[in-house]
Chains A and B, each alone.
Chain A
Amino acid sequence: MSEETVVTPLPYSDVLPGAVLAEETDLDGTSLVVAADKLPELARHLRDVEGLDLLSNLTAVDYFGYKGRTAEDRFEVVYHLFSTEKGGGPTVLRVRLPENNPVLPTLVDVYRGADLQEREAYDLFGIRFLGHPALRRILLWEGFHGHPMRKDWQEPYYEAESKPFKSRHPDGNYAWAEDRNPWGSNVQYPDGFDPLTWQEPVSQIPLQSHAGNGASGMLKTDRLIVNMGPQHPSTHGVFRMIVELEGETIMALEPEMGYLHRNHEKIGERNTYLMNMPYTDRLDYISSMSNNLAYAIAVEKLLGEEYAPTERAEYIRVIMAELTRIVNHLFSVGTFLNDLGAFFTPLLYAVRERELILDMFEAVSGSRMMCNYLRFGGVARDLPDGWLEQCKDLVFKRLPGKIEELTTYLTGNEILQERCIGVGYLSPQDAINLSCTGPQLRGSGVAYDIRRAEPYSIYDRFEFDIAAFNGCDVYSRFLVRMEEMRQSVRILEQALKQIPEGPIQSPKGQGSYVVRPPVGTVYGRIESPKGELGFYLVSDGSGNPFRYRVRPPSYINLNALGPMSIGNKVADCVIILGGIDIVLGEVDR
């Protein structure tokens, strides 16, 4: 045999020569290194010809001080593209950028869903996206100095690179951080920023301006900008919508967020892998078990086969994840009815059932909401005696009836239908293009569910239907949630019957407190109740993640809030937001 190596041409070199610079193999598949200037063309080709229509995850990584990286390729912007039609794994694009001038063209023209994520990458990393319609800070305010996710940026109360922090008890006594470093001396503003004279630039804010005719019927009305939130009962937390109105009609709507921002991702880099588990509970605090699952799946991908969860653990995980889905949808439907004006009665009906499920969580994990239950390679503790019987009682006998009860009272309700049908229209093409996932996407008739498209855990063993309705409005999203609860009950029925006896932890994972995964990157994702929840992890071989990125479904679903609201009445933007089902712990991170 000759030693001749066959040079396989790089992908897409025939259509776009020079676009793909290299092909790399990583822990979870291959990725393409793309030239920055050819990126929009390549993305357009991938979207239109290859059918990769969903830009799911867009994030940046700062490889400062990473082995084998120099100032020339310090920053990397990573894109995860999926196909809603074909399903399957991601196509990963990487763009490497130099330290002194991290600039690349925007993808907003190709995937409008890139909007919020590009702004986030700009905000936290200082990477500039040329051509982005409004590249402003999003999670932080304009008076923030620096870009906090850069590795060489240190917070005012900086203690150490990784935990445990030894500096808190200098002489045996507890030292309060703010005594050591009082407020005022730690505040830095960007150049030319004066906090006393600074005013929030309200006028530049509405982005998606609608070409209104300036007159509705006979009356000429002025345009009015109204702030909804951050303290508004409809926004489910501290979230602000800047609404431009003409009469009562919404002409433009801009979401403003970041009031609950705590830089979860930076905290995650200071933590060891296992320490992040309780932190993930606090992302989407309604469905903490799902967050645990997504994170565990991502880290297990990183750790490899030895940490694959045992059979029983997989079943426990699925049971917990599906119970969480029911919890989340009950709560979401309840608060949605609150937004509609059915004040608290439906919510209390929903919360009563939720409480029973939370009791099950408490019995297993010791906490109703902040479960911290999953571990790498299994779960923290086995199910207590009699738990399965209790759970079967709940799932087989009680829940189906209660879901039907809610359906009887709500689905056919005339007032609900009047308010919801046709409101918040989002066409299937737009829903995909705006990177929507979860009930938002399926409410637009796109039957894309990660449990089917790229099955994780043991979801390929269960029989269930994807809940999808093609009304494309708020009512469809509501129907999707009701139907998903029924499907979850179906999955639970199968899982509770099939769950085997056995160990709950893989032998390697047992008691391994500090894990040191091999060098590499992974992206693990699940279908969380709100949409695609993904974790993108970069490991440098140490016990702390080098980069810990959360792909938050409700944050990215907010891309569609503006486009959906335009043309509706101002009262409807409340239920459109309720239909997205956001949790601010996850939106702001």
Chain B
Amino acid sequence: MSKAGDFVKGAGQIAGAMGVTLKHLTKKPLTVEYPDEPAAVFPRYRGRHMLRRYDAAPGAELGLERCIGCCLCEAACPTGAILVEAAENDPADPHSPGERYAKTYEVNLLRCVFCGDCEEACPTEAVVLTQAFPVPEQDRRSFILVKDQLLEPPESNIVIRPEQ
């Protein structure tokens, strides 16, 4: 091929390549500036744990805890991240509808792998994995979530995507 032909062909290729580059200049970036902007997750996303309550009875401020202290989540946990200690309910002021409730409920987020097996094992749907991202902490002790922390719905800058 002649030199001029080479030149034209090369210029055409460069123009084509620049075309691809320029086309992408006009597109919106795919990245999200989390945590300033909310991150989108799916409803099934497995994030930080939460202990759920039943709906509050009329007049009461908070509903009863769902957890009945059966320790099935502890037995199901592959990494041994969960500790449950059960105690008898006081009939006058019960924590949960059953005979027993969880006196201690701890989740060690340093061990947890967010597999969701605790959620599947729970007979009362008490422990669930919410869509919230676990928060970074400064020291190791803070990664062990105690029951009071778990009963509060976690806060996280996320939006939940529609199911599809």
Contact = CB atoms under 8 A, between A and B. Distances in A.
| B is a partner of A | yes
A386 B117 contact: no
A362 B42 contact: yes
Interface stretch (A39-47, A197-205, A365-373): A365-373
B76 interface: yes
Contacts of B161: 363
Interface of B: 30, 41-46, 72, 74-78, 80, 83, 85, 104, 106, 108, 113-117, 120-121, 129, 140-141, 144, 161, 163-164
A370 B113 contact: yes
B76 to A, nearest CB: 6
B144 A174 contact: yes
Contact of B78 (A275, A359, A380, A381): A275
A164 B73 CA distance: 10
Given A384-B163, A385-B163, A366 B80 contact: no
A278 B83 contact: no
A380 B161 CA distance: 21
Contacts of A172: 85, 104
Interface in A358-394: 359, 362-367, 370, 372, 380-381, 384-387, 389-390
Contact of B108 (A164, A174, A271, A277): A174
Contacts of A174: 83, 106, 108, 141, 144
Nearest to B103: A172
Given A174-B144, A384-B164, A367 B45 contact: yes
A176 B111 CA distance: 11
A66 interface: no
A380 B119 CA distance: 12
A261 interface: no
Given A163-B75, A169-B83, 4 more contacts: A362-B44, A363-B161, A366-B129, A385-B164
A386 B164 contact: yes
Given A278-B117, A384-B163, A384-B164, A168 B44 contact: no
Nearest to B77: A164
Given A366-B45, A381-B44, A279 B78 contact: yes
Contact of B117 (A275, A362, A384, A385): A275
21 contacts: A163-B77, A164-B80, A165-B80, A168-B83, A169-B106, A174-B106, A174-B108, A271-B78, A274-B117, A275-B117, A277-B115, A278-B117, A279-B78, A362-B41, A362-B42, A364-B44, A366-B44, A370-B114, A370-B115, A380-B120, A384-B163
B116 A372 contact: yes
